[in-house]
Structure 1
Amino acid sequence: MNIEISKIANLPTSYGDFKIQSFKQNDKEHLAIFTYTLPSIPTVRIHSECLTGDVFKSLKCDCGEQLDFALKQIQKDGGMVIYLRQEGRGIGLFNKVNAYSLQDLGHDTIKANELLGFKQDYRDYKIVDEILKHFNIKKIKLMTNNPLKLTSLKHTKIVKRVPIIINSCEYNYEYLETKKEKMGHLL
Structure 2
Amino acid sequence: MKIEISEIANLPSRFGTFKIQSFKEGIKEHLVIFKEPLGEIPLVRVHSECLTGDSIGSLKCDCRDQLEFALSTIEKNGGMVIYLRQEGRNIGLLNKVNAYALQDKGFNTIEANHQLGFLDDERTYEMVEFILDYFKITKIKLLTNNPKKIESLKNIDIVERIPVIIPSNKFNAGYLKTKKEQMGHLL
- The unaligned stretches of length 5 or more in structure 1 are none
* 2:126 corresponds to 1:118: no
Give, in whole Å, the separation in 1 of the partners of 2:68 and 2:49.
Answer: 13
Name the counterpart of 2:163: 163
Percent of residue pairs identical: 65
What is the CA–CA distance in structure 2 between the aligned matches of 1:129 and 1:117, rounded to whole Å? 28
Match of 1:136 in 2: 136
Aligned residue type for 1:121: D
Deviations 1:112-158 (A, max 9, x none): 11111111111000010110011111100000000001111122110
Q: Distance in 2 between matches of 1:19 and 1:135?
A: 13
CA root-mean-square deviation: 0.7
Q: Residue 73 of structure 1 corresponds to which residue in structure 2? A: 73
Tell me the residue number matched to 2:23.
23
Aligned ranges 1:34-53 → 2 under 5 Å: 34-53=34-53
Letter in 1 for 2:53: G
Secondary structure of residue in 2 paired with 1:127? helix
**TM-score normalised per structure 2:** 0.98
Residue 149 of structure 2 corresponds to 149
Letter in 1 for 2:54: D
Provide the TM-score with structure 1 as the length reference.
0.98
Per the alignment, residue 4 of structure 1 pairs with: 4
Q: Distance in 2 between matches of 1:140 and 1:60?
A: 30
**Alpha-carbon distance, 1:2 to partner:** 2.1
Report which stretch shifted further, 78-87 or 110-119: 110-119
Unaligned stretches of 5+ residues in structure 2: none
Q: Which runs of 4+ in 1 moved over 2 A?
A: none
- Offset at residue 98 of structure 1 (A): 0.5
Cα displacement (A) at 1:58: 0.4
The residue identity in structure 2 corresponding to 1:65 is: D
